[in-house]
Amino acid sequence: MLPARFAPILFGLILSGIMSGIVTFVVAIKNFGFDAQTFDAWISSWSFSWPIAFAVVLVVAPLVRRLVAKLVRQPIEP
């Protein structure tokens, strides 16, 4: 088990992996259909895009959290 301080990084790693995997898979199917080269194209695209997506998630997530905090009404505490 990892220490709790690594939770945001682990979250970003898993989220970026899933999202970039899904997006690149959809694009590979759109471009190639269900063809023999689809899997190779998808893995190639995913391995290139995942590190980029991970870096973006780590940088952008704190900004998005602050933006969301400004856009939602905070509950009134009793």
77: pLDDT confidence band, cut at 50, 70 and 90? confident
pLDDT in tens, 25-49: 999 999 999 888 899 999 999 999 9
Please give the tally of structural domains in the chain: 1
- How many Å apart are CA 44 and CA 32, to the nearest integer? 14
Average pLDDT over residues 11-21: 96
Q: Which of 15, 2, 11, 8 is nearest to 50 (CA)?
A: 15
What is the chain's mean pLDDT, rounded? Answer: 93
CB atoms within 10 A of CB 71: 7
> If you ran DSSP here, which 8-state letter would residue 34 be given?
S
Residue 78 has pLDDT above 80, yes or no: no
- The answer to whether residue 32 sits within a structural domain is yes
Q: What is the domain extent for residue 36?
A: 9-69
- The answer to whether residue 24 sits within a structural domain is yes
Residue 9 has pLDDT above 90, yes or no: yes
